Amino acid sequence: MKQQKYIDGIEVPRLMLGTSPFLGAGQFGSRAIEYYQRFYLHPENITELIIEAMDLGITCVQAVGYEVIAKAIEEAKSYTKKDIEIVGSIGVQDFEQELDLMKNLKAKIILTHARITDKLDDYFRDCIDKIDKVAIAGVVTHNPGVIIPKLSDQDKIKVIMAPINKAGRFMFLYPEQALDAIKNTDKIVIGKKTLAAGMLKPREALEYVAEFVYGVAIGVASTEELQETFGIAKEIWKI
């Protein structure tokens, strides 16, 4: 397992509560609508799970740049009277608005969403420059095998979030190529979709990815999932 990392004196979290289930993201298939109705339309349920995560010692939220997520985080902070670390992912809809959202949440690490990252164009580079002025800059990619090697000379990019799982799902285009890129980069890599959207059992999934990535962001949709998955993650990452 890779040693604890600090960037400019800021500790990079190893375990993060993901927010994809709260948005009803498409990778959850038939469950997506159920998750959307349970969480996005009832943000108090998002707040409740964030509070429960904090009670387990998971104090970082990997927050996609949606107002509903930001408000739920603020509610959790208000209830617990504790700080919540934020690793933001922005550029889903409106980059500038989402950047302001993350500034208000005092996010110390902000990543460009894969919709921006994977184009590797001038707009992407402009977004990284803007993030670099206010936070540690990083990226999310949906195409790690191709994109990660091309970021090797991008000094402003410190953190990469990429899909990785034992089943090879979502690791476009070729899982082997993605795995090689993750293993060989000097950047800090945070794994996402590590349970392959619920296809894999938590222990086998997390023991596998812990050999390759610095940390993980895991989305959960219930108290039971939270306790089981992060209980195992804390054991594996010794937190």
Q: What is the pLDDT of residues 143-166, one digit of tens each?
A: 999 999 999 999 999 999 999 999
Backbone torsion region of residue 16, taken as left when φ is above 0, otherwise alpha when ψ lies between -120 and 50, otherwise beta: beta
- CATH class held by domain 11-236: alpha beta
Q: What is the pLDDT of residues 94-106, one digit of tens each?
A: 999 999 999 999 9
pTM here?
A: 0.95
CB 193 within 8 A of CB 27: yes
Check residue 4 and give its pLDDT.
79
Q: Where are the domains of the chain?
A: 11-236
Other Cβ atoms less than 10 A from the Cβ of 3: the count is 5
Q: What is the pLDDT of residues 30-80, one digit of tens each?
A: 888 998 999 999 999 999 999 999 999 999 999 999 999 999 999 999 999
Average pLDDT over residues 175-201: 94
| Angstrom distance (rounded) from CA 110 to CA 99 | 8
Residue 235's pLDDT band (cuts 50, 70, 90): very high
